[in-house]
Amino acid sequence: MRISIENFTKTFGDTTVIKDMSLEIRSGEMLALLGPSGCGKSTTLFAICGIHRMNGGRLLFGDKDVTRVSSQKRNVGVVFQNYALYPHMNVFDNIAFPLKVRKETRAEIDRKVQEIANLVHIGELLHRKPAQLSGGQQQRVALARALVREPDILLLDEPLANLDAKLRLEMRSEIRRIQQQTGITAVLVTHDQVEAMSMCDRIAIMDNGKIVQLSSPKEMYEDPTSDFVAGFLGNPPIAFLEGKAAGGGFRLANSEITLPVPSGITIPDHGAAMRFGIRPEFFQPNNGLKLNGKISFVETQGREELYDVMLENGAVLRSIQSQGAGHKLGDEVSWGIAEDRILAFGPDGRRL
């Protein structure tokens, strides 16, 4: 089911949380709403499922306008961050609740619950109470309950935030598997870029109630439209060099060093502020565009090592290298930037 949000506006009292937002989610795709807390991603999700009313704009499921349709009639399944399982019901009753409300027959309910329980691998847990389940199992029950009535749309609100790291990895692929198996249109709200990148077909990254960029994870990582997007994606995060345009090059702040600007980038007027974004994997000992600095921080991550290098002007670049390079804290180094991978941003943060 295609979801179209047209000119969506949402206010709480005097504060406008979302203004004039439009977004189209394709049928059968899994889309991530990614952004820092307070950016309006959960508000958007609640507007899609009908818990929030829209103050302006339209919402269409397929060709049907559902702006004024109540939550109960929208046929949207939601998985909440804390799963919101009904504590007094066992797993079977939890999953069966949406069907009972619809007054389906006993036999129908039994069949559907069994089917969905098998899909999410909780067939053995049907008689347990939610309190007797692990976090991952609760998550599966919540998924089953959201999916059992065959909703047109599945919404996931920070579904992995309450799980520990190992389970999170497991559930990431589980949710994706179930979504692909059912072919349902899904929207995932998350503040974790790894989740968004690993699970979704497309990412809509939000900031201050606006969608800043909408594209596939790979495209968004490699070709961010703003420094905000570049900074949000990638772990360890991208490092920025501040400076300004000077004589066809990029003059680093508080220093005499001028870096050449890669071809294909429009250089702003002389003296205008600029930023270079350099991802850790593109600042390496054997790249061409050398910069001198001193290692100010070393973090061993097991397979890799992360270095912070403080340049002469005080700016810090990050570098991630395979284990065994043997650099130490305080070492003077001269490493290079992969010139064609530099992301340049203008004074307003827009990509140049």
Partner 1 sequence: MQSNFRNWPVLLVLFVFSAPLLIMLTFLLVDAFTTKVPGTMIPNGLTFHHFRFLWTDLDDGSWGIWGVTLNTFNFALFTSLSVSAISLTAGYALSRLAFPARGFFLGSLIVLHAFPTVTLIIAIFLILQLLGLYNTLIGVIVVKAALELPFGIWVMKGFYDTVPWEIEMAGVQDGASRFTVWWQLVLPQVQPGLMAILIFSFLSGWSEFILPMVLAPGTEAQVLSTYLATMLLDGGTQADFNLFKAVGLFYALPVIIIYLVFQNKLMNIYGGGTKG
Partner 2 sequence: MQRSSWLGLAFLSPALVVVLLFFLIPVVLTGFFAFTNMSTATGVKGGAYVLNTSGLRALADAGLPKSTLEQIEGAGYRVDAKGLEALAADFGQPVADEFASLHDGEVFSKRRDVERALKDLRSNPIRKTRDRKIAADLFKRSLLNERFDTLPGFEAALEEAGIPDADRPLITQVAYTGWVWTTENFGFLMSLDSTWQYAKNTIIYVVFTLSFNVLFGLFLAIATFYLPSGQAATFRAIWFLPRILPPVLYIVMWRWFTWDTGFISTVLSGFGVSPRNWMLDTELHAWTTIVLINGFVGASMGMIVFSSAIRAIPSSMLYASEVDGASRLQQIWHIILPQLRWPILFITSYQTMSLLTSFEYIYLATDGGPGGATEVWALAAFHTALNNYGGNLQYGLGATYALLLVIIGLAASLAYLRLFNFRNLIQKPRIEG
- Residues forming contacts to partner 1 in the complex (CB under 8 A) are 49-51, 71-73, 76-78, 80-84, 86-88, 97-98, 101-102, 145-146, 149
Select the binding partner of residue 53 from partner 2, partner 1, none (C-beta < 5 to 8 A, by kind): partner 2
- Minimum distance from residue 82 beta carbon to partner 2 (Å): 14
Structure tokens at 219: 């495209």
Measured distance CA(261)–CA(242) in Å, rounded: 14
Select the binding partner of residue 102 from partner 2, partner 1, none (C-beta < 5 to 8 A, by kind): partner 1
The 249-252 sheet, strands edge to edge: 258-260, 249-252, 239-246, 273-278, 343-345
- Minimum distance from residue 8 beta carbon to partner 1 (Å): 19
- How far CA 64 is from CA of 21, 56, 98, 235, in Å, comes to 19, 17, 23, 40
Structure tokens at 5: 């949000």
Stretch that binds partner 2, among 48-56, 265-273, 316-324, 339-347 (CB under 8 A): 48-56
Select the binding partner of residue 52 from partner 2, partner 1, none (C-beta < 5 to 8 A, by kind): partner 2
Select the binding partner of residue 325 from partner 2, partner 1, none (C-beta < 5 to 8 A, by kind): none
- Minimum distance from residue 27 beta carbon to partner 1 (Å): 20
205 C-beta neighbours (distance < 10 Å), count: 27
Burial of 9 (0-12, 13-18, 19+ CB in 10 A): middle
- Judged by beta carbon, residue 50 or residue 224, the one nearer partner 1 is 50
Measured distance CA(291)–CA(285) in Å, rounded: 10
- Does residue 51 touch partner 2 according to CB under 8 A? yes
Residues 138-155: b if buried by 16+ CB within 10 A, e if exposed:
bbbbbbbbbbbbebbbbb
- Minimum distance from residue 187 beta carbon to partner 2 (Å): 18
Q: Does residue 140 contact residue 172 with C-beta atoms inside 8 Å?
A: no
- Please state whether beta strands 30-34 and 185-190 pair in parallel, antiparallel, or not at all (unpaired): parallel
Q: Which of residues 2-21 bind partner 2 (CB under 8 A)?
A: 12
Select the binding partner of residue 84 from partner 1, partner 2, none (C-beta < 5 to 8 A, by kind): partner 1
In the list 7, 11, 71, 180, the residue contacting partner 2 (rule: CB under 8 A) is 71
Select the binding partner of residue 143 from partner 1, partner 2, none (C-beta < 5 to 8 A, by kind): none
- Minimum distance from residue 161 beta carbon to partner 2 (Å): 18
- Does residue 52 touch partner 2 according to CB under 8 A? yes
- Minimum distance from residue 6 beta carbon to partner 1 (Å): 22
- Does residue 86 touch partner 2 according to CB under 8 A? no
- Minimum distance from residue 58 beta carbon to partner 1 (Å): 21
- Minimum distance from residue 92 beta carbon to partner 1 (Å): 15
Select the binding partner of residue 329 from partner 1, partner 2, none (C-beta < 5 to 8 A, by kind): none
Name the one residue in this structure whose structure tokens are 């100010």: 296
Select the binding partner of residue 12 from partner 1, partner 2, none (C-beta < 5 to 8 A, by kind): partner 2
Binding mask 267-306 for partner 2 (x = CB under 8 A): ----------------------------------------
Residues in touch with partner 2 (CB under 8 A): 12, 50-53, 70-72
